[in-house]
Amino acid sequence: MKKQAIINVKNLVARYGDDLILKDISFDVFEGEILVVLGSSGCGKSTLLRHMIGLDRPFSGNIMIEGEDITSSDDSHFNALKKIGVLFQSSALFGSMTVAENIALPIQEYSGLSKSSIANLVRMKLCMVNLDGYENYLPSEISGGMKKRAGLARALALNPKILFLDEPTAGLDPVSSAEIDELILLINKSIGATIVIVTHALDSILNIAQRIIMLDKKTKSIIAEGDPRYLKDNSQNVSVRQFFNRKAKSRI
């Protein structure tokens, strides 16, 4: 059974000023899948994510979310944003609001629930990421890993159809990382969310990814696509095998 594509990236070229970051990239994200974007540091994963969300305009090419081209007009971009939840690499929590207020913000705007209900819902969301009890802390008063989890809870606030997670487990201990992985799987299964993740954590890639896309800094394009468990041993490309088997590049 071929699943339906929910995001199409077509011939995307991304530039910052004169720097070409991504050269002619095309791929699809299918409904309900977990897609992991990986690649060496600085190869443009966050950039790709920012383009898929529409925060940066592509130099050329299109990005369609549920058939709507978000690069074509502000309206379609705005429509698409309602289906999207994003966890930024640096969490991007609002520093002047408490953790609970950060999560409650989109819920207040879109759900029509009463104040006390929202407070309970926020507590549920925080329970999911094991942060209950930290409602009234400011982002500056919690640790880096806790910020990540709070950011994840905020991305999940409206149970969006599509979740973009930029390094959700960076800076977390192995146990918390494994819990986050499990949470991601569960959200994918129970809510049916499509999830696009950027991560470097090998074991979580092998655990949760149904499909991966690997970017390369030199060719500025996709060098591998498919099931990570297969690519790990069978990829034609040396750097793909090196990545999965944690080998350093030979310097000679």
CA-to-CA distance for 239 and 242, rounded, in angstroms? 5
State the minimum distance, in angstroms, from the CB of residue 73 to Mg ion: 28
177 near other proteins, rule: CB under 8 A: no
Cβ neighbors of 10 (< 8 A, separation 6 or more) are 26, 61, 62, 63, 64
Of the pair 117, 219, the CB lying nearest other proteins is at: 117
State the minimum distance, in angstroms, from the CB of residue 100 to Mg ion: 28
CA-to-CA distance for 192 and 180, rounded, in angstroms? 17
Vertex 98 angle, CA 153 and 177, to 5°: 35
Of the pair 45, 154, the CB lying nearest ligand ATP is at: 45
Judged by CB under 8 A, which of 19, 110, 203, 219 binds other proteins? 110
- Residue 77 identity (one-letter amino acid): H
227 near ligand ATP, rule: CB under 6 A: no
Of the pair 8, 89, the CB lying nearest Mg ion is at: 89
Measuring CA to CA, which residue among 90, 94, 97, 79 is closest to residue 160?
A: 79
Cβ neighbors of 121 (< 8 A, separation 6 or more) are 107, 113
21 near ligand ATP, rule: CB under 6 A: yes
Asked if 217 and 42 touch (Cβ cutoff 8 Å), the reply is yes
- Residue 122 identity (one-letter amino acid): V
The site partner of 42 among other proteins, ligand ATP, Mg ion, none (C-beta below 5 to 8 Å per kind) is ligand ATP
Letters for 47-66 (x = contact with ligand ATP by CB under 6 A, - = none) are x-------------------
199 near Mg ion, rule: CB under 5 A: no
Vertex 121 angle, CA 65 and 36, to 5°: 35
SS3 237: coil
46 near Mg ion, rule: CB under 5 A: yes
The site partner of 16 among ligand ATP, other proteins, Mg ion, none (C-beta below 5 to 8 Å per kind) is ligand ATP
Sign of CA dihedral 198, 199, 202, 206: negative
Asked if 97 and 105 touch (Cβ cutoff 8 Å), the reply is yes
42 near ligand ATP, rule: CB under 6 A: yes
Judged by CB under 8 A, which of 54, 139, 151, 228 binds other proteins? 139
Positions touching other proteins (CB under 8 A) are 94-96, 98, 110-114, 117, 119-121, 123-125, 127-128, 132, 135-136, 138-140, 158-159, 183, 186, 189-191
Positions touching ligand ATP (CB under 6 A) are 16, 19, 21, 39, 41-47, 89
